[in-house]
């Protein structure tokens, strides 16, 4: 690739042209310190366009030098006749061989490259040499990130949602996907809980012929989310409980009734009554704890009381 080293006035570099922008990093403080102490080790790569220069690689370095008050910067300027694909590869390689690109950066890279290849299989053959994933099915997934709303991308970047969840949110209406990304980021939920909550929302909305957006706006739900007296674990628990009650009203009611009856049994600390899963079987389990014969006799007496208690009859009806 033809290029030459040249000192370029910073005023002639267009920092807003993001044609070749790969990095998601915006903080330049450590870079400013480094340049201040040891100077600019690697010159940025520029492409001359009309009377200006656009950045192929080195966005943060240029921003750091500007912050340091530099007027000029030693750069590597590539020949303007060079093909766009070569510039893209240069921009990607300059980033990916210094550090592991995050998913957003990989997505940007693949999105830039894809118009130049007939399909994702052909693209995959090229990407490994650029430090990018080469599996076509993974490429298909990663490329979709590029089109996700910024909030969802940010949640993915900060590991608040997984790639699969980010794509799932991307399939929802934009407002709805963003609201879930925001919720999941605030509550710091595991993937399983995120999936559970999202599925509940979708199914409740579908069952009740309302939109997910309407469901999200409902006061019951908003009351939990905006309750400042609750920490995030409490909020999560209340949200799950609320959704379960709404999605499975009969089952939830039966569970509440069972709890009420068990409470009437006044079981001591050494006894526990476990209902059949989802009340599907008719087999209940009673656990009794004891350390010695005296305690066992006490349990026996408790057991006799339980058998006579009308609540036990109600449980087993």
Partner 1 sequence: MPGKTKIELLYIDQQVANTPVAISIKSRLNVPSEIVEGPHKVFKSVSSANDPIRKGKEVLFLTRNKGAFIKTCPGTRSYTCCGYKILHIGTFCVMDCAYCILQSYFHPPVLQYFVNQDDLFSELDILFSGKAVTRIGTGEFTDSMIWEKWTDLSGLLVPKFSSQAHAVLELKTKTTAIDGLKSLSHNRKTIAAWSLNTNKVIHNEERQTASLSARLKAAARCESWGYPLAFHFDPMIIYDGCEEDYKHVVEQIFSHVSSDNVVWISLGTFRFIPNLKPIVQKRFPGSKIIYGEFISGLDGKMRYFKPMRINLYRKIVGWIKEFSTDVLIYFCMEDDEIWKKSLGFIPSECGGLPRMLDESAIHHCELDV
Give me the least distance between CB of 311 and partner 1, in Å please. Answer: 18
Question: Which residue number, 203 or 214, has a Cβ lying nearer to partner 1?
Answer: 203
Q: Interacting stretch for partner 1, rule CB under 8 A, among 33-41, 64-72, 181-189, 246-254? A: 246-254
Which residues, 6+ apart, have CB-to-CB distance to 120 below 8 Å? 114, 136, 139, 140, 143
Q: Which residues ranging from 253 to 272 are in contact with partner 1 (CB under 8 A)?
A: 254
The overall longest dimension of the chain from CA atoms, in Å, is: 96
- Using the rule CB under 8 A, is 280 a contact of partner 1? yes
Q: Interacting stretch for partner 1, rule CB under 8 A, among 20-28, 77-85, 157-165, 245-253? A: 245-253
Question: Which residue number, 16 or 209, has a Cβ lying nearer to partner 1?
Answer: 209
Question: Can you tell me whether residue 271 is helix, strand or coil?
Answer: strand
Give me the least distance between CB of 136 and partner 1, in Å please. Answer: 17
Give me the least distance between CB of 206 and partner 1, in Å please. Answer: 6
Q: Where are the alpha helices (H) located in 158-228, listed in sequence order?
A: 163-170, 174-187, 191-208, 212-217, 219-225
Q: Interacting stretch for partner 1, rule CB under 8 A, among 171-179, 259-267, 273-281, 297-305? A: 273-281
Question: Which residue number, 79 or 164, has a Cβ lying nearer to partner 1?
Answer: 164
Size of the site for partner 1 (CB under 8 A): 15
Question: Which residue number, 174 or 203, has a Cβ lying nearer to partner 1?
Answer: 203
Q: Which residues ranging from 48 to 87 are in contact with partner 1 (CB under 8 A)?
A: none
Question: Which residue number, 33 or 278, has a Cβ lying nearer to partner 1?
Answer: 278
Binding mask 184-223 vs partner 1 (x if CB under 8 A, - otherwise)? -------------------x--xx----------------
Asked whether the beta carbons of 73 and 10 are under 8 A apart, the reply is yes
- Using the rule CB under 8 A, is 250 a contact of partner 1? yes
Q: Interacting stretch for partner 1, rule CB under 8 A, among 4-12, 116-124, 241-249, 307-315? A: 241-249
Give me the least distance between CB of 103 and partner 1, in Å please. Answer: 25
Of 26, 114, 14, 103, the closest CA to residue 56 belongs to: 14
Give me the least distance between CB of 279 and partner 1, in Å please. Answer: 6
The whole-angstrom separation of Cα 272 and Cα 289 is 9
Q: Give CA angle at 227 (222, 231), nearest 5°.
A: 120
- Using the rule CB under 8 A, is 249 a contact of partner 1? yes
Locus of tokens 């069972």: 258
Of 53, 69, 68, the closest CA to residue 15 belongs to: 53
DSSP track, 59-117: HHHHHHHHHTT-SEEEEEEEPTTS-HHHHHHHHHHHHHTTS---HHHHHHHHHHHGGGS
The whole-angstrom separation of Cα 43 and Cα 92 is 16
Residue 230 C-beta-side C-alpha neighbours within 13 Å:
16
Asked whether the beta carbons of 75 and 43 are under 8 A apart, the reply is yes
- Using the rule CB under 8 A, is 140 a contact of partner 1? no
How deeply is 231 buried, as exposed, middle or buried, from its count of CB atoms within 10 A (0-12, 13-18, 19+)?
Answer: exposed
Give me the least distance between CB of 255 and partner 1, in Å please. Answer: 11
Chain residues binding partner 1 by CB under 8 A are 203, 206-207, 247-251, 254, 277-282
């Amino acid at each position: 690739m033809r290029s030459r080293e040249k000192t370029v006035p910073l005023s002639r570099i267009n920092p807003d042209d993001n044609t070749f922008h790969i990095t998601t990093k915006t903080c330049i403080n450590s870079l400013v310190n480094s340049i201040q102490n040891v100077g600019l080790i690697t010159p940025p790569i520029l492409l001359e366009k009309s009377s200006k220069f656009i950045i192929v690689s080195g966005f943060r370095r240029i921003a750091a030098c500007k912050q340091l008050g530099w007027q000029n910067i030693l750069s590597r300027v590539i020949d303007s006749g060079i093909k766009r694909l070569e510039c893209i590869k240069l921009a990607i390689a300059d980033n990916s061989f210094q550090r592991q690109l995050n998913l957003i950066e990989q997505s940007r890279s693949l999105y830039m490259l894809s118009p130049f290849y007939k399909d994702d299989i052909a693209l995959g053959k090229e990407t490994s040499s650029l430090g990018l994933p080469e599996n076509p099915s993974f490429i298909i997934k990663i490329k979709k990130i590029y089109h996700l709303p910024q909030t969802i991308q940010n949640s993915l970047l900060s590991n608040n949602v997984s790639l699969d969840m980010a794509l799932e949110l991307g399939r929802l209406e934009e407002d709805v996907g963003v609201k879930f990304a925001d919720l999941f980021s605030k509550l710091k939920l595991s993937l399983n809980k995120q999936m559970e909550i999202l599925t509940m929302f979708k199914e409740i909305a579908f069952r009740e012929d309302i939109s997910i957006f309407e469901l999200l706006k409902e006061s019951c739900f908003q009351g939990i989310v905006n309750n400042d007296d609750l920490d995030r674990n409490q909020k999560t628990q209340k949200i799950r409980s609320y959704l379960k009650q709404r999605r499975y009203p009969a089952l939830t009611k039966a569970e509440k009734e069972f709890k009420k009856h068990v409470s009437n049994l006044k079981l001591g600390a050494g006894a526990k009554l476990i209902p059949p899963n989802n009340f599907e079987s008719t087999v209940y389990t009673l656990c009794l704890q004891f350390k010695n014969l005296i305690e066992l006799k006490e349990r026996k007496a408790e057991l006799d009381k339980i058998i006579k208690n009308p609540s036990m009859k109600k449980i087993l009806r």
